[in-house]
Amino acid sequence: MIPADWENVLVVQTSFLGDTVLTLPLLSEIKRRYPAGKLTLLCAPAAAELLKSHGTIDEVMVDDKRRQDAGMLGLWRQARALEQKKFTLAISPHKSLRSALLLFLARIPRRVGFRQSKGAFLFHALANRDPLRHDVERNLSILEVLGIRTETCQPAINLPVSEASRTQSSRLFESAGVDLNKKIIGINAGSVWPTKRWSPDLFAQLIGKLKQDVDCEIVLFGGPEDHQTVAQIQALCGTNVTNLCGKTSLQDLPAAVSACDLFITNDSGPMHIAVACGVPVVAIFCATTPSLGFYPYSSKAVVVQKDLHCRPCSSHGGRRCPLGTEDCIKLIRSEDVFQAAMQILQANHRLPPGSSIHEPQYLNL
């Protein structure tokens, strides 16, 4: 354990959007215990857009490490910007060498990271990152070296939605022809990694079953990078769906997802956003497995997966199936996901945001 000055704290998580959402309980716990201190988050541009109005975080700084902050020049420029902020403590749940080096070059007097970090030698104190725990709990465990026991922390993921955002989301849905008096089922068919994406034709089959058996509206979500995938699904479904792909900013996404009674999604950042908004989730795990610690952190979730010896093929899922079979995608039938969806819908129960902190159920095929 090292002494810590909580007056001006920096938390660094510059990985994918979902990883940063799973850092929210750590940020909330720091602010809950030390409300007088300033809390800053350094994150990637997408996460900055999502979290710039989050009440727990006093300042969001952007590390655009793939563009303007790329390379040694970008690293040095970012380090100088951090140094000027006079942080008293830096905490890095991100395990990259770049993050550790950045904090070292910024001359922050107390730096805490994980023992498993590639830049572990650059930190003053190291916590153990338990691979068997959920990432929320792993992130909180970094506080152990600062004298805070994980079991005394509040692990809920909370992504508040303002009334103004809810109103704007309702207007978007109404303008798109969505009947807000019906059950609304959101579909997120995208993911950064191709082997984590269930196929568009299977999503279309699922939508057909849902429309046949449930009086509902189907809303397709996605970012600009998901246009092709979502367009395929819409082409197969026709007028049975509302396509909002690319029509919601990341800042407005939580409000739009919150309007859903159920969110059916691949293993992705929007999956964690839905959990943080208290929305019940059906999560389709193809190449990745929940054992990696990134499953939906909610008791109102069902994970659907095919038990195969080749899963996970990597920590993120690959660009292509290393065996060439794509069995982890193709062997999950639309009937399986439909069964999980009906299980959630028949329970007819939503959790308030911030309270869904338990294990999901599993449909192992």
Return the pLDDT at 3.
77
Return the pLDDT at 107.
97
CA of 38: how far to CAs of 42, 85, 255, 300, in Å? 13, 11, 27, 34
Other Cβ atoms less than 10 A from the Cβ of 249: the count is 11
How large a percentage of the chain has pLDDT more than 70?
Answer: 97
Return the pLDDT at 343.
93
Return the pLDDT at 277.
94
17-21, 84-88, 326-330, 358-362: lowest mean pLDDT where? 358-362
d(CA 324, CA 47): 33
Tokens describing residue 182: 């019906």
* 239: pLDDT strictly greater than 80: no
pTM above 0.75, yes or no: yes
Tokens describing residue 176: 């798109």
Nearest residue to 20 via CA among 78, 77, 60, 75: 60
Return the pLDDT at 349.
61
CB 154 within 8 A of CB 29: yes
Return the pLDDT at 238.
80
Return the pLDDT at 215.
93
Secondary structure of 117-153 as H, E, C letters: CCCHHHCCEEECCCCCCCHHHHHHHHHHHHCCCHHHC
Ordered domains of the chain (ranges, CATH): 8-148 (3.40.50.2000), 163-364 (3.40.50.2000)
What are residue 165's phi and psi, to 5 degrees?
-65, -40
pLDDT tens digits along 243-268: 999 999 898 999 999 999 999 999 99
d(CA 210, CA 8): 50
Other Cβ atoms less than 10 A from the Cβ of 199: the count is 18
Number of H helices and E strands in the chain, helices first, is: 13, 13
Contacts of 116 (CB under 8 A, 6+ apart): 95, 128, 129
pLDDT tens digits along 287-334: 999 999 999 999 999 999 999 999 999 888 888 999 999 999 999 999
pLDDT tens digits along 60-104: 999 999 888 888 999 999 999 999 999 999 999 999 999 999 999
pLDDT tens digits along 147-197: 999 999 999 999 989 888 889 899 999 999 999 999 999 999 999 889 999
Please report which helix (H) or strand (E) contains residue 217, including its range: strand 216-221
Return the pLDDT at 356.
52
Nearest residue to 10 via CA among 79, 75, 92: 92
- Confidence grade of residue 230 (pLDDT, cut at 50, 70, 90): very high
Return the pLDDT at 105.
97
Mean pLDDT of the residues in the chain: 93
> What is the average pLDDT across 30-53?
95
